[in-house]
């Protein structure tokens, strides 16, 4: 049953994503990409759960690497987006 | 397995995830306008913070030290990369981050498998877990290696000419099959090594990872540098799907929602990019460009028809112009000419000239890259016009300055059905009174075909490096307008 619930969530999210993202102008596609990228770093959650519960050394090592990678993705992605969007709002004041 | 918040009912965790999911969606909604976009990005980041914080507090962390160290290392590296990057190098950084997202997904799935195997009798891994882990491992590894190669190409570390050969296709097929077979094996027969000590490593999963890694490399290596916007967008979509699949592995709602949003975003951008080049995704990924046999045409077209101009002459034209359109291409970005171009535009504006930028969707090395570069140089986003908006205005335009662009202004796309770029939407700059093309030489663009625009009567060539030429033009114009 859980799989079907997950699938429901997946399909509905896909529709929401389509509706919202097609409205984003070309101007903002680069910041959108790095922002979306940061969101995909949500795997961090998975890494946290696994790294935290790691009952074997191997699982802990894998979890550690996963957390490092995902955190780079999240922190870097949001910051890059932020800097870029700042440029856009600065440009808008001209 | 419960931590600080662990005494609370499960629904609290799920509610927190719902809040995070809503914040991601609201963040993306705010991205639809530059005015609200910064706020949107912050809302999205806050959503991420909520999701991570709740997760950390909820689950008992056996090794909080390990977790804290990993968060610290990752955060520091990510922040350092983001702070030190130049806007021209943005595409490869985004590609790199993207790869890390995919890599993390693959590692999480592996860790979860190893962890679960350890607590179970061999062979009793649940099918739901093995199946989704196999998919996460496949997509995650392809994303990781594909993104690294793409970033390397964009950074000039890996050769970026498009190649298309049958051996390459065969390798891709073999490794895709290997990954799929190993994945199926993982699902059907997870205990391939029985009770040997290595069995706890879940070896078939790592076969999937290795095969998918080779596949990822071979998928991207043959794709040309100019097609990277599509590849980066597609890999972005993959990393989202990898995250969503990890959500299926861990039964985690917010992973599914967020991953799917990213998957949709990447896919939509991919489709937009392909449409802007009038090519199918399959053609971009596997085709290279059609062989061009027209190199001898080039002299026929250009011979005796090329008019050369100078910054002085262009400056004079600008003094009498009422409306000017600037068409930037990747060459402008490479030469770092965006600041000179932006300054020129601002000065023209001051002198009462109506100035706009005509931006082709695939100008640059990732979707919207040219816009980001110009915004960094203080160009207002209202001045940046998309192809469909700017094309009808060229007939009322006195002067068009094309700098560092070639294929996106090639009229052959409209006139010659046999051309490799036939049907690709282009900027019809020759409708304007005068066209100035700033380029280093008459060499062809990415498509490898000559551009008849250069030989047209109302076109003049301003040869030279984009930055130098634009700076000279700017100085000349400053002088003459006093």
Q: Are B185 and B47 members of one domain?
A: no
B256 lies in some domain: yes
Q: Are B152 and B217 members of one domain?
A: yes
- This model of the complex carries an ipTM of 0.90
**CA-CA distance, B121 to B130, in Å (whole number)?**
15
Closest CA to B111 of A48, A71, A42, A58: A58
* pTM of the predicted protein model: 0.84
Residues constituting chain A:
94
Amino acid A50: pLDDT: 66
Q: Are B35 and B169 members of one domain?
A: no
B177 lies in some domain: yes
Work out whether strand B354-359 and strand B459-463 pair parallel, antiparallel, or are unpaired. unpaired
Instruction: Return the active site residues of B.
Output: 407
Instruction: Write the residue in B48, B74, B260 that is nearest to A13 by C-beta.
Output: B260
Contact A78 B52 (CB under 8 A): no
CA B182 to chain centre: 31
Contact A54 B252 (CB under 8 A): no
Q: Are B77 and B123 members of one domain?
A: no
**Alpha-carbon dihedral sign for residues B155, B156, B161, B165:** negative
Q: Are B239 and B311 members of one domain?
A: no
Q: Are B303 and B268 members of one domain?
A: no
| Minimal C-alpha gap between B458 and chain A (Å) | 30
**Which of these three, B253, B287, B321, is where a domain ends?**
B287
All residue ranges of chain B with pLDDT < 50 are 1-2, 290-296
DSSP string for B21-66: HHHHHHHHHHTTSHHHHHHHHHHHHHHHHHHHHHHHHHB--S-HHH
Contact A30 B233 (CB under 8 A): no
For A36-91, write each residue's pLDDT tens digit. Answer: 989 988 887 877 766 556 567 787 788 888 889 989 999 999 999 998 888 877 65
Q: Are B314 and B237 members of one domain?
A: no
Instruction: Write the residue in B59, B268, B374 that is nearest to A22 by C-beta.
Output: B268
- Please report, for the domain that includes residue B407, its CATH number: 3.40.50.1220
Closest CA to B369 of B470, B229, B234: B229
B275 lies in some domain: yes
Q: Are B267 and B140 members of one domain?
A: yes
Residue B184 belongs to domain spanning: 88-287
Q: Are B330 and B464 members of one domain?
A: yes
| Minimal C-alpha gap between A1 and chain B (Å) | 11
B235 lies in some domain: yes
Question: What domain count does chain B have?
Answer: 3
B119 lies in some domain: yes
Q: Are B306 and B282 members of one domain?
A: no
| Minimal C-alpha gap between A4 and chain B (Å) | 10
Q: Are B282 and B392 members of one domain?
A: no
Amino acid B19: pLDDT: 95
Amino acid B376: pLDDT: 84
Instruction: Write the residue in B35, B66, B108 that is nearest to A92 by C-beta.
Output: B35
For B143-157, write each residue's pLDDT tens digit. Answer: 999 999 999 988 888
DSSP string for A28-72: GHHHHHHHHHHHHTTHHHHHHHHHHH--SHHHHHHHHHHHHHHHH
Q: What is the DSSP letter of B395?
A: G
B292 lies in some domain: no
Q: Are B356 and B379 in contact (CB under 8 A)?
A: no
- Residues with Cβ within 8 Å of B8's Cβ and at least 6 positions away in sequence, in order, are none
Q: Are B146 and B78 members of one domain?
A: no
Tell me whether B386 touches chain A (CB under 8 Å): yes
């Amino acid at each position: 049953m859980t799989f079907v619930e997950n699938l429901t969530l997946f399909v509905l999210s896909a529709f929401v994503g389509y509706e919202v993202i097609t409205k984003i102008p070309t101007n903002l596609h680069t910041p959108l990409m790095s922002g979306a990228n940061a969101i995909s770093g949500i795997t961090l959650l998975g890494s946290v759960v696994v790294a935290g519960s790691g009952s074997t050394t191997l699982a802990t090592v894998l979890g550690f690497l996963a957390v490092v990678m995902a955190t780079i993705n999240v922190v870097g992605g949001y910051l890059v987006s932020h800097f870029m969007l700042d440029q856009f709002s600065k440009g808008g004041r001209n | 397995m419960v931590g600080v918040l662990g005494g609370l009912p499960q629904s609290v965790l799920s509610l927190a995830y719902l809040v995070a999911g809503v914040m991601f969606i609201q963040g993306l909604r705010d991205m639809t306008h530059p005015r609200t976009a910064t706020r949107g990005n912050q809302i999205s980041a806050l959503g991420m913070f909520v999701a991570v914080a709740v997760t950390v507090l909820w689950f008992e962390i056996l090794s909080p030290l390990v977790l804290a160290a990993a968060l610290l290392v990752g955060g520091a590296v990510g922040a350092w990369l983001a702070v030190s990057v130049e806007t021209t190098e943005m595409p490869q950084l985004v590609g790199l981050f993207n790869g890390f997202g995919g890599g993390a997904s693959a590692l999480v799935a592996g860790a979860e498998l190893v962890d679960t195997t350890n607590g179970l009798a061999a062979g009793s891994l649940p099918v739901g877990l093995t199946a989704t882990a196999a998919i996460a491992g496949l997509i995650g590894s392809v994303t990781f290696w594909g993104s690294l190669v793409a970033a390397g190409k964009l950074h000039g570390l890996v050769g970026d000419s498009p190649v298309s050969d049958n051996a390459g296709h065969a390798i891709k097929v073999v490794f895709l099959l290997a990954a799929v077979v190993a994945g199926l094996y993982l699902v059907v027969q997870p205990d391939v090594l029985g009770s040997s000590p290595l069995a706890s490593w879940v070896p078939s999963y790592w076969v999937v990872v290795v095969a998918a890694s080779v596949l990822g490399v071979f998928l991207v290596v043959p794709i040309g540098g100019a097609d990277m916007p599509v590849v980066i967008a597609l890999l972005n979509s993959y990393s989202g799907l990898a995250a969503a699949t990890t959500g299926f592995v861990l039964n985690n709602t917010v992973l599914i929602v967020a991953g799917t949003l990213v998957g949709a975003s990447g896919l939509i951008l991919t489709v937009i990019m392909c449409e802007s080049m009038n090519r199918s995704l399959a053609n971009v990924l596997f085709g290279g460009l059609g062989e061009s046999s027209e190199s001898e045409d080039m002299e026929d077209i250009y011979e005796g028809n090329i008019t050369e101009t100078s910054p002085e002459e262009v400056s004079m034209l600008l003094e009498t112009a009422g409306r000017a359109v600037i068409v930037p291409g990747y060459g402008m970005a490479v030469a770092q000419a965006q600041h000179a171009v932006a300054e020129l535009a601002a000065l023209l504006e001051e002198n009462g000239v109506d100035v706009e930028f005509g931006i082709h969707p695939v100008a640059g090395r990732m979707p919207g890259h040219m816009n980001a570069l110009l915004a960094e140089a203080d160009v207002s986003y209202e001045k940046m016009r998309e192809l469909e908006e700017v094309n009808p205005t060229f007939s009322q335009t006195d002067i068009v300055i094309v700098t560092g662009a070639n294929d996106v202004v090639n009229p052959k796309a409209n006139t010659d059905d046999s051309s490799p770029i036939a049907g690709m939407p282009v900027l019809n700059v020759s409708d304007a009174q005068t066209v100035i093309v700033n380029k280093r030489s008459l060499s062809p663009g990415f498509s490898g075909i000559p551009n008849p625009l250069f030989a047209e009567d109302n076109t003049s060539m301003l040869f030279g490096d984009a930055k130098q030429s634009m700076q000279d033009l700017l100085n000349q114009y400053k002088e003459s307008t006093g």
